Structure 1
Amino acid sequence: MHCHRFFDIMESFDITQALYYLKQKYVLYCLESNVILYEKENQIVLSHEKWHSNMNIDDFQQSFCSCHFQLLPKQEETISKEKDDEYYQWRFHHQ
């Protein structure tokens, strides 16, 4: 994953804050392992560009205790009506 340039400007935090943010449904990035993390059904989901895995919270805490994390920017969860309209207008004119 080639996200380091974006992450260089953000503040990093430790496992204690990471657990808090995960429980609040934030998506995190682990600087040392280049893994994206989020909590789902009391499991930590780990996503790397080459693999995916789940682990329980205790195992996560032990395995990642010395790591540093950063918040990932939240994605828009819904499609903006304005952007949707723009797309269909563009598509209509370019057919």
Structure 2
Amino acid sequence: MFQRIAIAVGLALLLSACASQIDAGVSAEPAAPGFWWGLLHGFIFPWAWIGSLFSDDIAVYAVPNSGGWYDFGFFLGITVLGGGSFFGSKSRG
């Protein structure tokens, strides 16, 4: 059991080591979307994704943004406000 977990964690770390963000995607300007915009964008993600299938003018993720704080807000918006972790944890029965 421990060996499987160790292998899974090792593969996840190996894969995440390849991840990077281009500098053009991060902006230091005060007007760049930050944490609160990320939170909103994460919350409306399901609707924005559906809209993006039908229109090129709709995006699910703001680029450029403020970087890590926008990403953190986006993550919270999807998981907490969007019900990602809440609805997945309910028992059916």
Smaller-chain TM-score range?
Answer: under 0.3
Could you say which structure has the higher helix fraction?
A: 2
Greater RCO (CA < 8 Å, at least 6 residues apart)? 2
TM-score (norm 1): 0.27
TM-score (norm 2): 0.27
Could you say which structure has the higher strand fraction?
A: 1
